[in-house]
Structure 1
């Protein structure tokens, strides 16, 4: 499977909460690194993290760019939290080996964050 198809399959599996199918997209040497927290997860821990994420709702692919064994997606993610529906944006960079995702790097941000004063144009 190409990197682009794997990223789209990953989107469908996560958005549909099909946690049993998620390991089938991951290489035995899979690792995921969260740049924003410094954490790195193996396949089993990453699947569990996703499956157990409190209030998770949707994982929507907004953009995808792929070349060879690499792809990057920009996603909009929603989850129900203590204050209602939360919105996040995430950039996911994947590398494919043997038609499975072997490496993933993710960068998450909370959409409700406000830029510091003096940093906005105009």
Structure 2
């Protein structure tokens, strides 16, 4: 494994491999003892095999569009959009730790676009966000 690649490149490859359903390739970018937290659903994924399986077993019909990746040392932040055919669109803000060419920890915040409607009191102060 090429451990000289930059942390941002690891995350770029992670999203590309996930999008391609390259589960073996995805696993190559994940540490054996990775810990991934999903606070929105109060779940923790422990271990490479579980992380890959959670993603591989997700029902089909999704695609991934990377909106941005920013890195500072071994910390990488990515924002992606995950539309589901005939269903909701997810937005994901992920905070990755990459060491020696693999992800060792992540915290990902998954939410649905327009899944948390603006409360009535705030509507006079905001405008709808363009989607797509």
| Pair member with larger Rg | 2
User: What's the RMSD between the two structures over aligned residues?
Assistant: 1.3
The alignment covers a number of residue pairs equal to 119
Q: When the two structures are superposed, what TM-score results if normalisation uses the length of structure 2?
A: 0.83
Q: Can you list the C-alpha shifts for 1:49-99, whole angstroms capped at 9, x where unaligned?
A: 11111134212110111011010001000223xxx1321100011001111
Note the residue ranges of structure 2 that are not aligned, 5 or more in a row: 127-132
Partner residue, 1:115: 118
Normalised by the length of structure 1, the TM-score is 0.90
Taking the aligned partners of 2:26 and 2:61, their CA distance within structure 1 comes to 15
Which ranges of structure 1 fall in alignment gaps of 5 or more residues? none
**Which 4+ residue blocks in structure 1 deviate beyond 3 angstroms?**
none
- Bigger drift between 13-22 and 69-78 goes to 13-22
Give per-residue Cα distances to partners, 1:98-120, cap 9 Å, x unaligned. Answer: 11100011001111322222233
In 1, are the aligned partners of 2:97 and 2:105 still within 8 Å (CA)?
Answer: yes
